[in-house]
Amino acid sequence: MTAMEIDTEKNLQRKQSTYQSLDETFEIQNETYRGQQYSQIYFVRLHIMRTMLYSLVTHWKPHIPVCTILGLEEGKECIIVGTLYKHMKLKPCILDEYSKERSAVPLVKLHNFMHPDDHLVLEDESGRVKLGGTMLSPSAYVTGVVVALHGKETSAGDFLVLDVLEAGLAPQIDRQLKSKEDRYVVFVSGVNVGSSTSNPLQFQLLVDHITGHLGDEKEQGIAAEIVHVVIAGNSVEIPPGLLNGQNLASKDQSRLSEPVQELDILLTQIAAGVSVDIMPGSSDPANFSLPQQPLSRWLFPGSRVYNTFRSCTNPHCFELDGVRFLGTSGQNIDDLKKYSEARDELEFMERTLKWRHLAPTTPNTLGCYPFTDRDPFLIESCPHVYFVGNQDKYGTRILKGSEGQLVRLISIPKFCDTGIAVVLNLRNLECHTLSFGTQISA
Amino acid sequence: MATASSNMKGFYRQRKSGITKPTSTKSKKSSLHREATLGSDITQPSALISHGSPDLKDDYDKHEELLRQFDMNMAYGPCLGMSRLARWDRAQGLGLNPPKEIEGLLKGEKVQSACLWDGHI
C-alpha cells in the first residue's frame, strides 16, 4: 500500500510536441484511371526539373548555350537537360520469356543487375542520345533521374559528357529552435509480427521502454521525453503459402488475421501513451504501388480509438515542432540497390536528395500510380530528417547542402533481425540506437 | 501427336476464316485504293475503321479543329488518358501558358471532352 503511494506521487509528465501531417501529396483520392500510361509522369517530372535546372545553369556555366537533343550539332559545346535512361544488359525484361532464342544472359541471381557494359542515354521530348565519356559513371545513376549535362556531340553521334549538374538539395525551411529541452522521436521498422524470425519479447521490451514501464526513475524520465513514434513499414508478416488464390479454410482465416491482431495489441499500448505513426511497407496488407495508401484503420480496432494513432502513407512527410521529416519504408532505396552501386545505404539516400527525387526508378522498375498532373516524389522542400526503413544495418550521417541546408539521414535497420530502434533528439538532430536483446547469457 | 496438331490447326483455321479471310485482303485493299483515286467516296481502307465508325471523319467543326491542334501540340505533354480540360489545367499549372480560347471552348461550348485518340488506342 505504501509502495503504491510513493509510485503515484512521482508522476512523470510526458512532453508534448505539435504535429502536422504533410501526407496530402501522397494521397490518392479523386484520381480516376482513364487508361493513361506513364508518359504523363515523365513529362511532368522532366518539365518541372528542367525549369529548375535551367535556372541553375545560368549560374553554373553562363557562357555555354543550352539546346535540345534534336538541336545538337557535331563538335559544338552545349548544355542539354533531359531524363536519364540506363541501358542494362542484365535487367530482366518481360519479353525474355517469349523470345525464341536462348538469351546469352545468364539467369543466375546476382546481388544486382549491374554489368560493365551498361550505358546511359539522355532523353527529352525531341529525341535521345547515347552518353559517352568518363565524367558520368553509369554505376551511380539510374533511369528516371533528370540532370543537366555539358558536353559535345562526337562524330559517332554520341554525346561526350564533360561535366554534370545535378539539381542538388532543395531549399529548406528554417528549423525553429523552440526549446532547449531534449525531445525524442523513436523510429522502428521491420517488426514483422507473425514471422518465424521475430521475437515477440523484443518488441514488447521496446513498447515497455517507450511507455515507461521499464527501468528506474532515470530511465522513465528519458522515456517521458519521447514525444513521437514512427513505425516505418513491414510491421506484420502474413504467413507465406496462405494466400495462394484458393479459398481459405476457416482455421486459416484466424492464422491470417493473428499477426495484425497481435500488432494492434502492441500499438494500443503505445498509442495510449504517445502519438504513433504507422506507415505501410512492402509486406504489409496495403497496396503494392507507391505511394502506398494508409493501412485501413479497421485493421486496428484497439488503437483506432486513440487520436494519437495515425495510419499514414508511404512515403510519409510530417512536421514536428517545426522540424520536417520525410521518409519511406525502404522500397525506393532497395530498388536503387538493384540497379546502381554505392558504398552504403546512406549514399543512396544522399543521391535521392541531390536528384530531388524520392524514387527516380518509379515507374520504370518500381511500381507507382500513373499520375497525370504531378509527380508526388519530387522533393520540393528539403526535409530536416530523412529516414528510410527496413535496411540491412543502422547508419546515420549529417548531409550539408550548398545553401546551408542541413539534413539528418537515418537508415533504420529491420527490428526483427537486429533488435535495434533509432532515437532522434529533436533539439539537435542527434541520433542514437536502442538495442534490445533477449538472450540470457550463462 | 500428328493428328492432334492437325486437329488444332483445323480448329484455329475455322475461327480465323470467319473474321479476316487472309487470302482476299490484299486484292481488296488494292482495289479500294484504286477506287479512292478514281474519286470514289470510299476513302477508308477497312483497317482504319474502329468502333464501327471511320477514324477520319470529315464532319468536325472549327472548334474541334482547334482542339485537335491543341491535342497534337507536344509542348503541353501527352494527351492520351486524360480529359482535354485536365490537360489544359496541367499546362496552366506548369506555367506553359496554354491558349485561353481553348479553355473557353472547353468550359463553354458543347465540345468533345476526350482527346483525339480517345478510344482508338
The pLDDT tens digits for A173-192 are 888 766 678 899 999 999 99
Determine which of A34, A37, A52, A68 to mutate to test the interface with B (most B C-beta atoms within 10 Å): A34
pLDDT of residue A246: 75
Categorise residue A107: left if φ over 0, alpha if ψ from -120 to 50, beta otherwise. Answer: alpha
Q: Report ipTM for this prediction.
A: 0.76
Q: Looking at residues A369-387, what average pLDDT do you find?
A: 91
> Taking all residues of chain B, what is their mean pLDDT, rounded to a whole number?
66
CA A36 to chain B, closest CA, distance in angstroms equals 4
- Chain A positions in Cβ-Cβ contact with residue B95 (cut-off 8 Å): 51
Task: Say whether pLDDT at A351 is over 90.
Answer: yes
Cα–Cα distances (Å) from B29 to A291, B45, B52, B54, B60, in that order, read 49, 7, 18, 16, 26
pLDDT of residue B18: 44
Which residue of A39, A47, A370 is in closest CB contact with B94?
A47
Say if the Cβ atoms of A125 and B74 lie within 8 Å.
Answer: yes
Categorise residue A241: left if φ over 0, alpha if ψ from -120 to 50, beta otherwise. Answer: left
Beta carbons of A206 and A421 less than 8 angstroms apart = yes
CA A211 to chain centre: 27
pLDDT of residue A326: 95
Which residue of B77, B83, B93 is in closest CB contact with A43?
B77
Task: Say whether pLDDT at A278 is over 70.
Answer: yes
pLDDT of residue A75: 86
Contacts of A366 (CB under 8 A, 6+ apart): A290, A331, A332, A335, A359
Determine which of A31, A47, A48, A69 to mutate to test the interface with B (most B C-beta atoms within 10 Å): A47
Q: What backbone phi and psi angles, to 5 degrees, belong to A323? A: -100, 125
Contacts of A233 (CB under 8 A, 6+ apart): A189, A190, A279, A280, A281, A282, A283, A284, A314, A328, A329, A330, A389, A390
CA B121 to chain A, closest CA, distance in angstroms equals 10
Q: Does B66 touch chain A (CB under 8 A)?
A: no
Q: Looking at residues B73-95, what average pLDDT do you find?
A: 87
Q: Which of A115-119, A294-298, A415-419 has the lowest mean pLDDT?
A: A115-119
pLDDT of residue A178: 62
- Chain B positions in Cβ-Cβ contact with residue A69 (cut-off 8 Å): none
Say if the Cβ atoms of B93 and A373 lie within 8 Å.
Answer: yes
Residue of B nearest to A52 (CA): B94
pLDDT of residue A243: 73
Residue A360, preceding peptide bond in cis (omega within 30° of 0): no
Q: Looking at residues A14-41, what average pLDDT do you find?
A: 86
Q: Does B78 touch chain A (CB under 8 A)?
A: yes
Percent of chain B with pLDDT over 90: 0
Cell triple for A432: 542514437
Q: List pLDDT tens digits, range B46-57.
A: 555 556 555 555
Task: Say whether pLDDT at A117 is over 60.
Answer: yes
Pick A130 or A102 by higher pLDDT: A130
Residue A291, preceding peptide bond in cis (omega within 30° of 0): yes
CATH of domain A2-30+172-241+251-435: 3.60.21.50
- Chain B positions in Cβ-Cβ contact with residue A123 (cut-off 8 Å): none
Question: CATH classification of A39-96+108-165, choosing from 2.130.10.10, 3.40.50.300, 3.30.70.580, 2.40.50.430?
Answer: 2.40.50.430
> How far is A364 from A340, CA to CA, in rounded Å?
14
Pick B56 or A48 by higher pLDDT: A48
The C-alpha cell 553509369 sits at A138
Percent of chain A with pLDDT over 70: 94
Say if the Cβ atoms of B82 and A372 lie within 8 Å.
Answer: yes
Task: Say whether pLDDT at A105 is over 70.
Answer: no
Q: Which amino acid is at A200?
A: P
> How far is A190 from A232, CA to CA, in rounded Å?
7
Task: Say whether pLDDT at B87 is over 70.
Answer: yes
The C-alpha cell 545538337 sits at A72
pLDDT confidence band for A102 (50 / 70 / 90): low
Pick A32 or A360 by higher pLDDT: A360
Residue of A nearest to B91 (CA): A373
Question: How is A63-132 classified by DSSP, letter by letter?
Answer: TSPB--STT--BT--EEEEEEEEEE-TTS--GGGGG-SSPPSS-----SS---TT-EEEEE-SS-EEEEE
Pick B69 or A355 by higher pLDDT: A355
Q: Looking at residues A151-161, what average pLDDT do you find?
A: 90
Task: Say whether pLDDT at A328 is over 90.
Answer: yes
pLDDT of residue A6: 46
CA B100 to chain A, closest CA, distance in angstroms equals 19
> Taking all residues of chain A, what is their mean pLDDT, rounded to a whole number?
87
> How far is A156 from A158, CA to CA, in rounded Å?
6
Q: List pLDDT tens digits, range B17-76.
A: 444 444 444 444 444 444 444 444 455 555 555 565 555 555 677 788 888 888 888 888
Q: Which of residues 9-48 of B touch A (CB under 8 A)?
A: none
Q: What is the pTM of this model?
A: 0.82
Say if the Cβ atoms of A34 and B74 lie within 8 Å.
Answer: no
Which residue of B81, B89, B94 is in closest CB contact with A37?
B81
Q: Looking at residues A385-400, what average pLDDT do you find?
A: 93
pLDDT of residue B53: 57
Q: Which amino acid is at A427?
A: R
> A200-211 vs A250-271: helix axis angle to the nearest 10?
30
Domain boundaries, chain B: 62-108
pLDDT of residue A385: 94
pLDDT confidence band for B15 (50 / 70 / 90): very low
pLDDT of residue B17: 44
pLDDT of residue A5: 44
pLDDT confidence band for A110 (50 / 70 / 90): low
Domain boundaries, chain A: 2-30+172-241+251-435, 39-96+108-165
Q: Which of A63-67, A232-236, A296-300, B102-106 has the lowest mean pLDDT?
A: B102-106
Residue of A nearest to B85 (CA): A373
Q: List pLDDT tens digits, range A191-247.
A: 998 888 888 888 999 999 999 888 888 888 888 999 999 999 999 988 777 777 777
Determine which of B79, B90, B97, B113 to mutate to test the interface with A (most A C-beta atoms within 10 Å): B90
Sign of CA dihedral A398, A389, A324, A146: positive
pLDDT of residue B55: 58
Q: List pLDDT tens digits, range A421-438.
A: 999 998 888 999 988 887
Which residue of B74, B80, B90 is in closest CB contact with A373?
B90
Residue of B nearest to A47 (CA): B94
Q: What is the largest CA-CA distance in chain A?
A: 91
Say if the Cβ atoms of A37 and B78 lie within 8 Å.
Answer: yes
Beta carbons of A354 and A166 less than 8 angstroms apart = yes
Say if the Cβ atoms of A36 and B77 lie within 8 Å.
Answer: no
